[in-house]
Structures are given as structure tokens and as C-alpha cells.
Structure 1
């Protein structure tokens, strides 16, 4: 069963995709060259630098001098971020807590060091001399005292092969403008703090981790009347085993066909499939194409199997929903790791037919490589 080709390919341009996943307008620290990054890392924000927007959170003490109160609010905001994401780098903390500030990285690093001296956070080494920060037992206790059900993060493994996946998931989630949405990190979902229906756990009745047998890498929700629309995130870095790829493709087809999530007010609205490449290594662009091709062909196979009993009108109507709701995103990630500014994105519609995949192959493998060689 094949979709009528009136459902033709449509490229997402950068402006459209940036509305879906808003990239900060100020240049990211990670876009600087290594010598510039080093110089900036050694520079603290001046004393008269404009303060970032205040984040009102539990734990602020009334009656304190404004500077002291603001410092405590900043510390609380950093602790809450670690509670929500599990572990973060100083750059990630800076972009979360001081989103609009050009001094976010320096402010994040400064506050983390202060919290470390107080025994509220613990620094853990990452590869390439990077560092991750987690909540200490005392830090979790401070959050619990302010009404947040936090647990220490020192039990997390940040030195195994999964750390880069977690870093990428958190980076993509941080990119999304938080206005009007609620974010759920992989860490929060695995800790039964997601938005799904309640289920029995060793700690009592808590939100389920799964829907349709799948645990999301991350998601966010946006209220639309009585319904919370869900944007589901999957980071695809490596070749999947055939069974895992089949499960993902079947989930995409089933989930978008029956988007209402049982026993909740949730409705699946969008699925983002996130891939990575390194603009300084053009060959990595070519490595992405086989991953996307395998995914698209897997979705087509799952679609044909799922909709075999349906008439053509129903199939075309659903295909339009699928095409408009599934997105492929390509992040530029360099060593460090660092996330460079800019995202490329495509709707599933653009690559659904083999002709679309051929165009994508030319763009990623052939044209993309030549463009970067000419630079």
C-alpha cells in the first residue's frame, strides 16, 4: 500500500524549525573557536553586568538584602535544574537558569562552585576533561525542605557509554523555549516523575515511564484547552538492532494513529527524531544518512502493515497527519562535546518516498561534503 504522491515532499526551513525548537538568539558559547572559548572561560562577568531574569522558586528567604536574596534564588534554581535533569554541565546550567544572558556559562560555573563549597552539589568527571554536576545528599535535603521531592544524584553513572546520549537529550530539551510548556527529561521520566498515568512502583503509585511499550528520551507538554499536547523526543546516534528499530517504527505509526494517551489528558502531537553530525568532520554527515534511510523505510513498512485493512481515503488522511507530525532534526555537535548553533530539520513528508531519500542523500553525502570542503 503506497501513499498517493499528492502528499509531496516539503522541506522545513531553518525559520520554521526554529519556531518549533527555538535556538537562543545570542551566539552560544559553544560556537566560539577553541582559543576564544578558553579566553572566555577565564573571564568572569563584570560586577556591573545586567542581572539575568529572576527565577522565582521555593526557598527564597524574605527580608534579606536584595543581593543575598538573589544569590539564594540563583542557587535554588541551579539545584532545581539538577533535580530535573539528573546531571548537567556548567554550560547547560548557564543556558537553563540564565537563558537570555551572555554570561550564562560564567554565572553557572560560579554558582556551581559556590554550591560545591557548601556541600550541596558534587562534581563528576566526563571524558575530554569535562565535568558533570549532580545533587549531593545535602542538596537533595535542601530541596525537600522547600517541598520538592528530590533525591541525591550521586548514584548516577556519568562515566559509562550512556553519558553522551544523556548529554544530547538534555541539550535538545534545553534548546526548546520554556514559555508555555512543561519539560520532562529522561532522568525525570525514569524516576517516575513524567506526565503519564499512575502505576504501581516500589515507592508507591507514581507516573508510568512508558506508553505503548516505549520510554521516551524526553518530552514536553503544552496545554491546549483540556488537553496537554505531547512532543516526544528520541535521540538516534547509532544503528539500532532490527528489533529495536521495528519497535520504534511501530510506535511512531501506532502513536500518531491513536494519539490519545489512556487514563490521562495527554495527546501525542509531535515526534522529534534527533540525529547528530560534526561540521568540522564532513564525513560524519554521510554517516547520518543510513540511519535516516533505515528509519524511514521502517516507518513505511510499519505503516503499510498497520493500514492494510483500511480504505485509501482513510490511509491518505492519516498519512497527512503523520507527515505533519514527525520531524527529523540534525544537530551540529563537536568534540567536548559542544553544541554549535543551528539545527537542520525535515518533516517526514520530505523523505517519505525514495525520491525524497535520494534528494536527502545528495544534500547530506554529496553536496554537504563539498560545501564544507570549499570552506
Structure 2
């Protein structure tokens, strides 16, 4: 490989890393390794080397996460680089509120799995920044959106146990927006709801949400068709926000 080839590949990797940081808001080095170097045997080492180089060039900033560990965000120079090189209007993440890192990490890892499967996604950061097809429907804002050939998947992330009133909001959304027949609700012009995915890092949170949905079905207030359009996803995270094996099933298969 010539020095020119290496330079081209390096700039391609720079574009990929900065674009993903623009889309997700923040990412860990392992998340970026999965996104940019998913097919490489030394993906983690490649991500670390690239991030160090980008940090030295002041295109990215390393920030500490509230629960421990580090993440990376765009710097002001990184945002300018994206504007100049890719015509992408971006903002620096130096003042970005990191919020609940476990919740965001769960959403990020789920979307990474969908991106690697070839789906189109909109991240929580893109939705909150007004860069997604929709922001709020029926009083709720999705934690992520996935576009499939069949329609949109609305993603609800449950990283901690919720009280009955909060779970009822999710149930109510499913009742209202997952139509009981063969029709699909139009969430925004020419974008129809195909499925609701409830994604959780903890088994307890997922079980309580599944129980509320199952109780609603048992009362006859959630049809079999609606139950078949609700996906339950367990995506465990360790203390370093590294994702374990994803497990999923339809609510209808658990009743």
C-alpha cells in the first residue's frame, strides 16, 4: 500500500468517525470500532489509533462519562472539518449534555446493530436536534427510529424500572399508534409505523414493561395483531457500557 493509499484511507476513516459523532452526539471507542472497522480483526486497536490521531489534531474531544469511562465528541474544529470536507452542518460537542449514559449507550448499541444489518436509522441525538423525520407523536418522542422496507420501527429504551404511570404511556402509545388491523398509522407524511421495539439493558425493566403490555392484552385492550407488532429486546451492558448479546422476541410469542 502506497503512502497515498494510506492517506486516502486515513481521510475516509476521519470522515466516518466525525460523521458518526455528528449523528450520535457521543460514542465510545468500542462503538466507533464496531461502526467503522466492523470487519477488521484489529478493530479496537484501529479505533484507538485513529481517535488518538484525531484528538491530537483537535478534531475530537475525549470526555468523561458520568458513570465512568470516556466517550468522544466533535470539537469545534471537527465540526468545521465536516462542513468544509463533506458539506455537513455540525456542532461541537464540548458542551453537550451527556445525561443518562446507560440509556444513550443502550440506544446507541441497538442502532449500531441495525446499521450493521443494513437498516437506515435516526439516532436519539438526531431526533432531539430536529434532524429526523419526526420528533413527537401522540405526546411521545422516540428514543430512536429505524427505517425498514416495511415501515418505521419506533424505539423505546427502558434502562431502568419505571412506575405504572410511565409504563402506561408506552402502553397507550402502542394502543393508539399500532392499529389493530392490517393498516399502519401514518406518523409523518409517507412514513408509516411498522413496529414498536422496547429495548432494555436490564431484565427487570424489560419484564415490568412486558408485564404491563401483557396485562393490557389479557384485558382485551391490546389486540393479537398489536402484540405481534411489539418487539422486546434485551441488550445487556456491563459497567463499561460494553454491550452483550442481543436477545429479542415479539410480545405475541411471550403471551
Query: Same fold per TM (> 0.5)?
Result: yes
The counterpart of 1:94, out of the listed 17, 33, 44, is 33
Equivalent residue number for residue 239 of structure 2? 335
Change (3 A) 1:236 1:81: same
d(CA) in 1 for partners of 2:118, 2:199:
22
The counterpart of 1:264, out of the listed 186, 189, 192, is 189
Displacement after TM superposition at 1:273 (Å): 0.6
SS at match of 2:236: strand
Q: Note if contact 2:133-2:188 (Cα within 8 Å) is conserved in structure 1.
A: no
Unaligned 5+ segments in structure 1 are 1-47, 49-63, 197-208, 278-284, 308-318, 353-375
Change (3 A) 1:273 1:262: closer
Map 1:98-113; keep pairs closer than 5 Å.
98-113=37-52
Map 1:214-225; keep pairs closer than 5 Å.
214-223=140-149
Is 1:351 aligned to residue 247 of structure 2? no
Displacement after TM superposition at 1:262 (Å): 4.9
The counterpart of 2:103, out of the listed 156, 165, 176, is 165
Displacement after TM superposition at 1:274 (Å): 1.3
Equivalent residue number for residue 175 of structure 1? 113
Map 1:199-238; keep pairs closer than 5 Å.
209-223=135-149, 229-238=151-160
Query: How many pairs does the alignment contain?
Result: 250
Q: Note if contact 1:253-1:299 (Cα within 8 Å) is conserved in structure 2.
A: no
Is 1:321 aligned to residue 225 of structure 2? yes
Displacement after TM superposition at 1:176 (Å): 1.6
Change (3 A) 1:268 1:103: same
Deviations 1:345-370 (A, max 9, x none): 22111333xxxxxxxxxxxxxxxxxx
Equivalent residue number for residue 80 of structure 1? 19
Equivalent residue number for residue 119 of structure 1? 58
Is 1:240 aligned to residue 178 of structure 2? no
Is 1:296 aligned to residue 211 of structure 2? no
Deviations 1:116-148 (A, max 9, x none): 111111100125651110001111111112211
Change (3 A) 1:299 1:89: farther
SS at match of 1:230: strand
Q: Note if contact 1:221-1:231 (Cα within 8 Å) is conserved in structure 2.
A: yes
The counterpart of 1:155, out of the listed 81, 92, 95, is 95
Equivalent residue number for residue 363 of structure 1? none
Change (3 A) 1:122 1:251: same
Unaligned 5+ segments in structure 2 are none
TM-score by length of 2: 0.88
d(CA) in 1 for partners of 2:204, 2:131:
37
d(CA) in 1 for partners of 2:49, 2:141:
35
Equivalent residue number for residue 9 of structure 1? none
TM-score by length of 1: 0.62
Map 1:270-281; keep pairs closer than 5 Å.
270-277=195-202
Equivalent residue number for residue 172 of structure 2? 250
Q: Note if contact 2:186-2:193 (Cα within 8 Å) is conserved in structure 1.
A: yes
For the aligned residue pairs, the C-alpha RMSD in angstroms reads 2.3
